[in-house]
Amino acid sequence: MRYPLLSLLPKNLESYVLGKASRLAWPRAFTRVMNAALVKLLKIDMSEAAKRLDDYPSFEDLFTRALKEGARPIQGDLCSPCDSILRYSQPIDRGQGIQAKGLYYPVNELLFAGGPVDKTFRPSWLCSFYLAPHHYHRVHAPFSGFLHSVRYVPGELWPVNDTFVKVVPRLFCRNERVVFELTQKDGGKAYLVMVGALNVGRMKVNAVNFFETNNLSRQFSNRGPKNFPFAHPRNMEIGEELGMFMLGSSVIIVFDDILSKRFPFKRISQGLPIKMGEKLIAPVEKAS
């Protein structure tokens, strides 16, 4: 391991403490100054935010900001679930997903670790997104259809920036994550994975009330995965909000063979910017 000191750091506890601090109601004048400094430092585009900068009472409220209505128009039948850098859009080879050049991980471990494997699911294509701290942090449905279940998989909280993605084996399989089971109305299935990271104090899931990741009880217990199946699949419209990160992290979508044939995916491995709602199958151009 090239980062032995980080290996020893209690990353989950550190992230929990930072998350608690980010939610504290500091004096308004102090919060206003600090939020303004963060916006400048991280180059956050506040022109798209639903509220004025002064209206965010905490750091976390700023990071999890909603956007103005209409800020992210939906394009086509398959769209990006988030504002991010699209790291990879690649076929899955022999059950392995690409993490970085020369580094792979087993897709079934990412999706089903610690639980039963969905033997009807045939993973065929993978899209991997990186959300930097300046990005909009909410995650949305990439297509219309049904939400069947949500699964929480506990784990570590390694950073997911390029430095660590390139050197930490099976990083996405090691980190804490939330897995959404999605199907299209005309058939075909995908799993959308929200992957936690260092300093992501929480991930919230809209479809599961009162559930949040990396909470206080999880600092002192070794609980396994937790499943939230729905008795009846829930209707889901493209662009519907699924959950949010408290800071930047990663999203991975794994498509089955039906969807990979239905949609003309493009191979992408350059790490290109994409916004929530943009066509996921169209070529993405670098920002000028």
Residues that are catalytic? 83, 140, 249
d(CA 255, CA 203) in angstroms, rounded, equals 23
d(CA 195, CA 203) in angstroms, rounded, equals 9
What number of residues does the chain have? 288
Task: Take residue 6 and report the two structure tokens written for it.
Answer: 């980080």
* SS3 sequence of the chain: CCCHHHHHCCHHHHHHHHHHHHHCCCCHHHHHHHHHHHHHHHCCCHHHECCCHHHCCCHHHHHCCCECCCCCCCCCCCECCCCEEEEEEEECECCEEEEECCEEEEHHHHHHCCCCCCCCCCEEEEEEEECCCCCCCEEECCCCEEEEEEEEECCECCCCCHHHHCCCCCHHHHECEEEEEEEECCCCEEEEEEECCCCCCCEEECCCCCCECCCHHHHCCCCCCEEEEEEEEEEECCCCEEEEECCCCEEEEEEEHHHHHHCCCCCECCCEEECCCCECCCCCCCCC
Picking from 82, 86, 35, 88, the residue whose alpha carbon sits closest to that of residue 57 is 35
Picking from 67, 73, 63, 72, the residue whose alpha carbon sits closest to that of residue 50 is 67
Residue type (1 letter), 160: V
